Structure 1
Amino acid sequence: MKNLLIISPYFPPVNAADMQRVRMSLPYFASNGWNVEVVMVDEQYTDIQIDPLLLQSISSDIKIHKVKALNKRWTSKLGLGSIALRSLWFYWHKVNRLLKDGKFDLIYFSTTQFPVCILGAYWKKKFGIPYVIDMQDPWHSDYYQDKPRTQQPSKYWFSYRLNKYLEPIAIKNADGLISVSEGYIDDLKNRYSVIKNIPSAVITFGAFEPDLSIARENQTRFVSLLDARFINIVYTGRGGADMHQAIIPVFEALKKGLSDRENTFYSRLKFYFIGTSYAPAGEGKPSILPLAQQYGIADHVVEITDRISYYHTLLTLQQANGLFIPGSDNPQYTASKIYPYLLTQKPLLAVFNKKSSAIPILREYGVKHVYDYESVTGININDFFSELNTNNSESPLYNQEAIKKYSAQQMTVNQCLFFNQVLNRELKVKNKDSKY
Structure 2
Amino acid sequence: MISPKRPHLLYVAWGFPPSRGAGVYRALATANAFVDAGWKVTVLTATREVFEYQTGTDTDLELKVDPRLNIVRAPFSWVRGEPDLAKWSRTRIASNLLWSYARAKSDRLAFPEPVYGGWKKALLKETDRIHSADPVDLVIGTANPNVDFVPGWHLHKTAGVPYVMDYRDTWHLNVYTDTFVGSRFSRSARLEKKLLASAAEVWFVNAPIRDWHAQSYAPGSERFRVVANAFDPEFAQAFAGISKPERSDASGLVFGYLGTIYGPMPLRESLEGWRIARTRSKLVRNSRFEIHGRLGHYAEPDPTILALLKEYADDGVSYEGPVSKTAVADKYKGFDALMLILGRSKYVTSGKVFEYAASGLPIASLHHPETACTTILDGHQDWFPVPDLSPESIAETILKTAQRAGDMTPADYARNQAWADHLSRDKQLQPRISHLTELVAEASHG
**TM-score normalised by structure 2 residue count:** 0.75
> Which one of the candidate residues 131, 141, 158 is aligned to 1:126?
158
Q: Report SS of the residue matched to 2:195.
A: helix
Q: Report SS of the residue matched to 2:304.
A: coil
The one-letter amino acid paired with 2:253 is: I
Q: Report SS of the residue matched to 2:364.
A: strand
Q: CA deviation at 1:118?
A: 3.3
Q: CA deviation at 1:107?
A: 0.5
The aligned counterpart of 2:257 is 235
Deviations 1:339-393 (A, max 9, x none): 33334333322244434442333234x3422425449776544221112344498
The aligned counterpart of 2:383 is 369
Structure 2: gaps of 5 or more residues: 1-5, 83-87, 89-98, 108-112, 240-249
Q: Does 1:272 align with 2:285?
A: no
Q: CA deviation at 1:400?
A: 6.0
Deviations 1:295-342 (A, max 9, x none): xx6632636496443334443333223211123211110111123333
Structure 1: gaps of 5 or more residues: 148-155, 216-227, 432-436
Deviations 1:261-318 (A, max 9, x none): xx4223223323333533434451334874996xxx6632636496443334443333
> Which one of the candidate residues 226, 247, 259 is aligned to 2:279?
259
Q: CA deviation at 1:237?
A: 2.0
Once residues 277 and 114 of structure 2 are traced to their aligned partners in structure 1, the CA distance between those partners, rounded to angstroms, is 45
The aligned counterpart of 1:383 is 400
The aligned counterpart of 1:43 is 48
Q: Is the 8 A contact 1:5 1:38 kept in 2?
A: yes
The aligned counterpart of 1:398 is 415
Question: Which piece of structure 1 moves more, 180-189 or 304-313?
Answer: 304-313
**Following superposition of structure 1 onto structure 2, how do residues 218-229 of structure 1 map, counting pairs within 5 Å?**
none
- Alignment length (residue pairs): 399
The aligned counterpart of 1:64 is 71
The one-letter amino acid paired with 1:257 is: A
Once residues 318 and 124 of structure 2 are traced to their aligned partners in structure 1, the CA distance between those partners, rounded to angstroms, is 41
Once residues 255 and 187 of structure 2 are traced to their aligned partners in structure 1, the CA distance between those partners, rounded to angstroms, is 40
Q: Does 1:349 align with 2:356?
A: no
Deviations 1:202-223 (A, max 9, x none): 11123224358999xxxxxxxx
**Following superposition of structure 1 onto structure 2, how do residues 15-414 of structure 1 map, counting pairs within 5 Å?**
15-46=20-51, 47-72=54-79, 73=82, 78-79=103-104, 84-143=116-175, 164=189, 167-197=192-222, 199-211=223-235, 231-240=253-262, 242-244=264-266, 248=269, 251=271, 253-260=273-280, 263-287=281-305, 290=308, 299-300=314-315, 302=317, 304=319, 307-364=322-379, 366-371=380-385, 373-374=387-388, 379-391=396-408, 396-398=413-415, 402-414=419-431
Once residues 75 and 386 of structure 2 are traced to their aligned partners in structure 1, the CA distance between those partners, rounded to angstroms, is 44
Q: Does 1:9 align with 2:14?
A: yes
Coordinate RMSD, CA, aligned: 4.0
Q: Is the 8 A contact 1:124 1:131 kept in 2?
A: yes
Deviations 1:233-277 (A, max 9, x none): 111223345321x873x55654443334xx422322332333353
Once residues 16 and 260 of structure 2 are traced to their aligned partners in structure 1, the CA distance between those partners, rounded to angstroms, is 19
The one-letter amino acid paired with 1:385 is: A
Q: Report SS of the residue matched to 2:156.
A: helix
Deviations 1:384-436 (A, max 9, x none): 11123444988623356644432223333123134247659x96xx98xxxxx
Once residues 299 and 347 of structure 1 are traced to their aligned partners in structure 2, the CA distance between those partners, rounded to angstroms, is 25
- Cα 1:193–1:200 change in 2 (3 A) is closer
- Cα 1:145–1:184 change in 2 (3 A) is closer
- Cα 1:82–1:269 change in 2 (3 A) is farther
Q: Is the 8 A contact 2:251 2:287 kept in 1?
A: no
Q: Report SS of the residue matched to 2:346.
A: coil
Identity of paired residues, percent? Answer: 16
Q: Report SS of the residue matched to 2:303.
A: coil
